[in-house]
Structure formats: C-alpha cells, structure tokens
Structure 1
Amino acid sequence: MSQILSLFLLALAVSIDNFSVGFTYGLRKMKIPFKSIFIIACCSGLTLLVSMLVGHVIAQVFSSEFAESIGGGILIILGLWILYQFFQPDKEREIITKEKNLVNFEIKSLGIVINILKKPMSADFDNSGTITGVEAIVLGFALSLDAFGAGIGASMLGYSPLFLTIAVIIMSTSFVSLGMVGGALLSKKSYMEKFSFIPGIILIIIGIFKL
C-alpha cells in the first residue's frame, strides 16, 4: 500500500507543472485539443520511461541497498532545487510579467525547449491560438525535462517503469485539462504560483523515506 501511495505521489510531483502550463493557456483563451494533450502526456511518459531504463542500468552496478540510497538522494536533491527556486531571494529571482518561469537556467543546445518552459505561450509557433502536431510534441518534451532526473531516481528505488509511466501519462493528461479549465475560470495566476513548492516537498519526503 505504501509503495502504491509513494508511486502516486511521485507521479503527482513530476506531472504538476502540466497544470501550470494548462492554466496559462486557459487564461489566454488558447485551445489544446485532446489529441494534443494526449501527445504532451505521452512525451512525458516516454521521457520518464527512458530515464527509468537508464536508472535500471545504473542500479545493476550497485547493491540494492546502495542503489536505493542513491535514488532517494536524487529525489531529495531535485526537491531541494525546486524549493530553492521558490524561496530564493527576490534579487536573484527573475522578474516575471506575463508567464510563469518554470526554469531558471539556459542550455544553448536546447534553447527552443528552455524558452518554451520559460514562456509557455511561445510553443504556439504559428500563432494560431491552438497547440497541435509538432507544437504539442515540443511542449511535451519541454515539460518532461524535470521528470528525467526523477525517473532515474525512481528506477533505482525499485518503482515499476510501466506503472509509473502510465500514472504520469494519466496525471499529465488530467492536469493539462484541469489547468485549462481553471485558467479559463480565473483571471489571475498568482494563486497557483503560491503552491509551486509542493512538488519539491513531495520529492524530498519520498527521498527521505527511501534512504
């Protein structure tokens, strides 16, 4: 039972950013067809699955106990990083005027992906007001970057790649959909930003229990 609960919480932690992005699109009256939402969710699931396979290979090198400690440590570090981004001093925090900034760093080779993470609206390449096709794929992989590290840690903790991937796909689909509905109903997004530290807390708790 505890394994199922922690798997659920882990899937929740790596999927919750999808709510924020869906919320942003809902505020701007943009449309994401269900097919595109499912593509976004599948990209997250695929990235998680690949990262868990990488974690499985790494786990073969170490004893099961040491692998679990490493996996727990990875989740704790990711959680602390999320909390740091939330609580860092205002002078270090990038001023946000239009869209939520999901990351605070830049990798030149992934410039377009990082830009989408910073400004979700930029995923609408053709300015059509609808996210479709390639736009959904790029946005999906952009949202799944945080899940890669969590996937490695989860694999080393012994989580089932299949069950966790399915859980992430379901939650990602649900969160984008709910986010769009919430964004359409509310005029301010500062409400959700107050809770953006929650994934960090969840990852730290899971990591501590697995050490």
Structure 2
Amino acid sequence: MPWRKPLLFVVCLLPLAWLLAGAVSGTLGPDPAKSLVLFTGSWALNFLLLTLSVSPLRRWLGRPGLLRYRRMLGLFCFFYASLHALCVGTYILGWDWAILQEELKERPYILVGFLAWLTLVPLAATSNRAAIRRLGRRWQTLHRMVYLSLGLALLHLFWLVRSDRAEAVVYGVIGGGLLLWRLYSRRKAPILAKK
C-alpha cells in the first residue's frame, strides 16, 4: 500500500520530535547535553537492530514485502548515529583536539563508537539503487559490514555503562540473537541449494 512508507517515515521521526519538544520545553533533565547524547545513541542502536530484524521477520511472518522498508530503517539508523556523533563532538568534546586526546585516554569507548559510526558511512552512501547496480554482487559483501557496525556499537555500549548493565544486556541478547540467526541462515542456505 502506497501510504505505508510515508507513515513509516513519520514514525521514524517521532524520536527526533520528542527530543526537540523536550529541548524547547526544557524537560530533558538536569543535564540536557547528556540526555541528548544518550537519547540519540540509544535510537541509533534501536534502528540498527530494527534494520537487522527485517530479514528474520520477513521469513518468520512470510511477508517478503517487509524488505522494502529495510533501506529506510537503515538510513534512519545512520541519521540518529550521526546526530549522536554530532552531540558528542559538540557537548562532550567541544570540537577541541586536546580534549579529544584527553577523553580517549580516559574513555576509549569514544573511539569504538566513532568506528561504529564510520562503518555506517559507506552503507548509507551506497544504499541507493544506482550504487546497487554499480556494485553488483560486491554490494551485498559491503553491506555485510553492518554486522561489524553492530558489534562495535554493542562494545561501545558495554564499555560505556559502568553500573546498571541491564539495558546493555538486553541490547546484547537481541544483537547476539540476530547475529546467530544470520550465521545459521548462511550455513543452512548451501544445504538447501543442494537439495
């Protein structure tokens, strides 16, 4: 149905709308900068997991049409990850090289987070149909890098959390489950092809 993609686009913007409403009304808590950083990081990871959930859901539900929404979810993952990087650069580092060097000594998870964002850049840049046609089979190989993005993002989260790890464990279980499903489906595919 033609209205589903526009509706999904609007739904994907709701976290940003909530964030902007909180910033305008001053309800982001005692440390708004920290809230901005954590909120955008959480939603980047949420969209990454949603993007990776499309393939298993398509098979389990028998709805191949779900694949048409994966690109949009992936681009929103990159969008929120870029907002997260922008907030870190602005509110944590102040775009100061000396502060970055000092922060990397005390908080090396910042480097892991940056690497996670960096792996998303080529995926977002090649998500259009022209890139798919130009890259051919190499496109799938390149886009498997999303699993590296997930691993780095989860490492970034686990390294970041210092006390209550419950949320990080939930993300880790979901992410680990998606990685295991991918490995299982790849091992099963050659067997099915021989039958």
Coarse TM-score class (shorter-chain normalised): 0.3 to 0.5
Bigger relative contact order (CA 8 A; separation at least 6): 1
Higher fraction of helix: 2
Q: Which has the larger radius of gyration?
A: 2
Task: Calculate the TM-score normalised by the size of structure 2.
Answer: 0.34
